[in-house]
Structures are given as structure tokens and as C-alpha cells.
Structure 1
Amino acid sequence: MTRRYPDEPAGTFPAPPRQVTDREGRSIQLRRADATDRTALIEMYKQFDPADRAQGIPPARETAIERWLENILDTDRYNVVASHEGDLVGHATLVPDDDDGYELAIFVLSAYQGAGIGTELVETLLGHGQSEGIEQVWLTVERWNDPAIALYRKVGFETSNSERFEQEMAIRLA
């Protein structure tokens, strides 16, 4: 399948590290993640609300989370984490596909959803991607996930395919 991307780049995004204040007044640190974050990410994903899992990710069992993170934290992937008072509360990743693009996935603990952290996390991940020379990013989102679709549109994603169970969206960074 040939993926469609917008013709024009979306603009410039902020690169990590950065600190923001969410709508609840919490100080959130956004930074690049790496393999040293593995244990903290496992702990975050063990807390993840089953209702917030989509398309089978993140996995539910600890052993499956560990295997999944081995792939996500590999050297050719780009990851950003959000932390509050030392605890990880969000994670976003760009994983290369076979066609010169990167797939985006984002996860925010339910207690931190709706406070703007998802938007900051996506924008920071896209800024990280821009600094690394990534040009094209895409994602899939469940058609009924209106808050996520609104977030992606807000940062510049456009619908590229809506013929499936999920809606595919894409953005051009460069």
C-alpha cells in the first residue's frame, strides 16, 4: 500500500528536553527516552488502564510489555517520555516502516489524560523526529476515538485513509 502524506510540511515542533505546565498545574518534563528508561516504562505500562489499550497495545502482561519495549527502544526508533515528580506518566514513539516513514504511537496514563500532556508529548516527539531528519510520520487511530483524532488534527495530521476499521492519519515534517 502506498501511504499518502500531505504535500506541505506542518511547521516546526519543539525538540526535547523541555518542561511544560499541564492544565492541572503540574510541572511535566519531556525528554528523549532510551534503554535506561526500560524499568520505569514497564512500571508505567503495568499501571495502564485496560480501557485505554487500542489495537492490542500496550500489551497487558509484564512479560509481553518487556518484549514489546525491546522493540520500541531499539536504536533506530525515537522515543520521548513525560514525567511528573520523577514518575513516567506518558510515552510516545516513532517506529520506522518499510517505506521511508515512521509510525507514531502515544500512551498517557489515565490520571494525566485531558490535561494537554498528549499534545505536548506528540509535538515534542515530532520535534525530536525533525531534529533527526525524519520527513514523514503516520498513525492509525480507532474511528470513535474523537479526543485522539482532535489532538492529531491540532498538531497538523491529516486523514490519509479512512476506509478501514481504523482511521489513518499522516503528517509531513520536512
Structure 2
Amino acid sequence: MATTSDYPSQFPRPPTTVTDREGRTITVSEYDGGPEPLVEMYGHFDDDSRSQGLPPRDESRTREWIDGLLEDGLNTVARHGDDVVGHAVLVPYDETAELAIFVRPTYQSAGIGTHLIRGLLRHGQDNGLTHVWLTVDRNNRIAMNLYRSAGFETTARNRGEHEMELDL
């Protein structure tokens, strides 16, 4: 299995500023703020933008979900100006962590997810994580390509989902 040491230049320490494919200036940084900017971002997700039931559909469940991520996880955000347009989180479980990443629908396919996941993985390394895993819908080719570009490998295939892992 690949490790992040095989990809050292891909994981810059946040904050980083990049220009996305649409010419927008995007800043990726660690996040330790409150829930409101994330609740606002997730309010832009429609049913076609949800995967595996996330983000939750109604605002109260979204707030509860975000509160848990902020309390338990290592969070990274992408901002365009003052707006949060992407959120990625590592939720630690013993020696491993589960990864989730979301980019606001109107900002997808612009390269933001690549920078967001790289910053998040560095944040995980800096916090002593040694293993990351995730599940992804097998039909979500864009996400699978993103994860592969960061070094993840498919380790299991279950009922329409792939499990992917990366040793840090």
C-alpha cells in the first residue's frame, strides 16, 4: 500500500492559497471555528449533491452532524473570500481516521478538492495520524480519481461502495 511518504510534495502544510480552474483565489486552512459558516455552505447542497446520505437534508440534523465533526474531527476548509466552499474532515478512531470531503456544488470540478484533501492529510500527519480510510460510491468516478491522486488504494468492494485506505 502506498504511503504519504511516497507523495511528500502533495501534502503542503495549510494555510495555502491557490487559483482554481475558474480563476478564483481559494485559501485552504485548518478550521477550528464555529458551525455557522459550515451550515451555510451545506445549505447549498441539493439531493444530487449528496452522497451516502451526507450532508443531512434538514438544517437541524446538519447542525448536529457538524457539531460532532467539529468536536471529534480534524477539520480543513476551502474559502473563496469570506465564504466556505469546501470542507474536509478526519474523524479519528483509535489508530485510524475516517475521511470525508465536500465541495459546494458550484465550486466542484475546479481542483479545489485536490488542494483540500492534501491540506487535510498534512493536518492529519501533523496530529499523529498514521492511517486513513474512506468509503465512496463506486459510481462516483470523480471522487475515486481524487482519492487515487492523493495515494489512496481500493481495499474492499461492498454493495456499490469501495473502501479506500492510505497509510500516512
> TM-score if structure 2 supplies the norm length?
0.93
The alpha-carbon deviation at position 133 of structure 1 amounts to 1.2
Whether contact under 8 Å (1:49, 1:109) holds in the other structure is: no
**1:140 positional shift:** 0.3
The equivalent of 1:86 in structure 2 is 82
Corresponding residue of 1:147: 142
- Name 2:38's counterpart in structure 1: 41
Which one has a larger percent strand, Structure 1 or Structure 2?
2
What SS is found at the alignment partner of 1:94?
strand
CA RMSD of aligned residues (A): 1.3
- Structure 1 residues 22-171: aligned runs within 5 Å: 22-34=20-32, 36-74=33-71, 76-97=72-93, 99-171=94-166
Q: Provide the identity percentage.
A: 49
CA deviations over 1:41-84 (Å, ceiling 9, x no partner): 1111111132111111111111001100111001x410000000
TM-score by length of 1: 0.90
1:45–1:83 Cα change, 3 Å: same
Q: How many positions carry a matched residue from both structures?
A: 165
* Worse overlay, 158-167 or 61-70: 158-167
> What is the Cα deviation at residue 29 of structure 1?
0.6
Specify every segment of 5 or more residues in structure 2 that has no aligned partner in the other structure, as ranges.
Answer: none
Match for 1:84: what amino acid? H
Match of 1:119, SS state, is helix
